[in-house]
Amino acid sequence: MTVSALAADLPVERALGPYFIAPNPIAQWAIEIGGRYWFSSGRTQLDLFGFTQSDGFLSRLSYTGLNAQTGEVFGRVEHVSGFLVKGFAGGGAITNGNLRDEDFFPFTDPYSSTNSEQRDGRLAYATIDFGWTWRSEGIKFGFFIGYHFYHEQVNAFGCTQNASNAFICAPSIPGSVLTITQETDWHAMRLGLNTEWWFAPGWRLSVDAAWIPWASLVASDTHWLRIPADFSGSIPERGDSFLNVQLEAFVSYQFLNGFSLGVGGRYWNFSTTSGQAHFESSAVNGFPQQISLATQRWGGFLQASYRFGVLRPTRYN
């Protein structure tokens, strides 16, 4: 019996001469790994009250224009059953920005508003999600639950009085002097939805929408020029955050060899509903005071990735 006859009798997709071509098996796992460059901007605002918010503002520190450049790695692993693990981690520098520090009447009389330059800041973050996906022709839809960590440090240099207060930053403090450091850590729970749509050969749209049902704030504020006269160290800040969001979307093109290039954007938001700054270490006003703190970050990214395995045939991938 010839080789051709044996090939014709086998349960294969098609035979060609003395050889046969069998269908590729469906992979059990699909893995994507890659890297991103994220250019973002942001703001952090700290409001300090008396014993309660009804007592009115004591002060407001608004850090704005916090432009950052970060690099990150990311990955996504899916099983043919639908199980999903995905995540990313990154960090970089907050290169510029501005601090407006306001102190309000009647606690400060007259009203004070100062400006300082932000530089030498840092940014770090990480996310891990576990979920489930459903697949149909050209589209995947899933849900996930996960954890997100966000760290930010901003530094204010110099101080210039822009209101009528003659006692705070009058005369001005030169820009070479470090005046205030704010360090902010958020630990957040994520619940969200994810979808991928292969809308044309090689082209993919991916969208993540995460709801933050709860997040914990662990932060500190250091007024360097008031140590040791008023404070023995940083002022700890603690609080909880509820009902915030994280959004992300990107479009990418995958080449035949599994390599992809893409562009996208994201938005993150955290804000406390209640919190306290612990002034027990201060020489004056040595009691906890109510605060609210809000952090926002948004921007666009470029990414490159490589994909291993296809779980099942789809329309374009």
pLDDT digits (tens, 9 = 90+) for 131-158: 999 988 889 999 999 999 999 999 999 9
In three-state secondary structure terms, 4 is helix
CA distances, 182 to each of 52, 219, 223, 265, 276 (Å): 22, 7, 9, 26, 15
Give me 53's structure tokens. Answer: 């918010």
Q: Residue 280 domain-assigned?
A: yes
Cα-Cα-Cα-Cα dihedral sign, residues 272, 274, 280, 285: positive
Q: Residue 316 domain-assigned?
A: no
Q: Residue 315 domain-assigned?
A: no
Parent domain of 266: 46-308
Q: For residues 51 and 238, which has the higher predicted lDDT (pLDDT)?
A: 238
Q: Residue 267 domain-assigned?
A: yes
Q: Which residues pair with 102 in a beta bridge?
A: 60, 113
Q: Could you report the per-residue pLDDT of 87-109, keeping only the tens digit for each? A: 999 999 999 999 999 999 888 89
The reported pLDDT for the residue numbered 270 is: 95
The reported pLDDT for the residue numbered 285 is: 56
Mean predicted confidence (pLDDT) in 239-256: 94
Q: What are phi and psi of 39, to 5 degrees?
A: -100, 125
Q: How far apart are CA 306 and CA 291, in angstroms?
A: 45
Give me 39's structure tokens. Answer: 């250019």
In three-state secondary structure terms, 53 is helix
93 close to 121: Cβ distance less than 8 angstroms: yes
The reported pLDDT for the residue numbered 227 is: 80
The reported pLDDT for the residue numbered 295 is: 97
CA distances, 216 to each of 52, 87, 292 (Å): 20, 20, 13
Residues belonging to the chain: 317
Q: Minimal CA–CA distance to 30: which of 302, 305, 264?
A: 305
Counting runs of H as helices and runs of E as strands, what totals does the chain give? Answer: 1, 16
Q: Residue 238 domain-assigned?
A: yes
The reported pLDDT for the residue numbered 210 is: 98
Q: How far apart are CA 4 and CA 27, in angstroms?
A: 29
Query: Which residue has tokens 């014709």?
Result: 8
Question: What total number of domains does the chain contain?
Answer: 1
Neighbours of 310 (CB within 10 A): 13
Q: Residue 133 domain-assigned?
A: yes
CATH number of the domain where residue 87 is located: 2.40.128.90
Q: What is the pTM of this model?
A: 0.87
In this structure, which amino acid lies at residue 217? Answer: L
Q: Residue 243 domain-assigned?
A: yes
8-state DSSP, 7: H
Q: Residue 50: how many CA atoms within 13 Å on its side-chain side?
A: 8
Whether the per-residue pLDDT at 85 is higher than 50: the answer is yes
Percent of the residues in the chain that have a pLDDT greater than 90, as a whole number: 70
Q: How far apart are CA 44 and CA 268, in angstroms?
A: 12
In three-state secondary structure terms, 54 is helix
Q: Residue 8 domain-assigned?
A: no
The reported pLDDT for the residue numbered 3 is: 40
In this structure, which amino acid lies at residue 205? Answer: L
The secondary structure of the chain in percent helix, strand, coil, rounded to multiples of 5, reads 5, 70, 25
CA distances, 304 to each of 73, 131, 310, 314 (Å): 10, 23, 18, 22
Q: Could you report the per-residue pLDDT of 274-305, keeping only the tens digit for each? A: 888 887 666 555 678 889 999 999 999 999 99
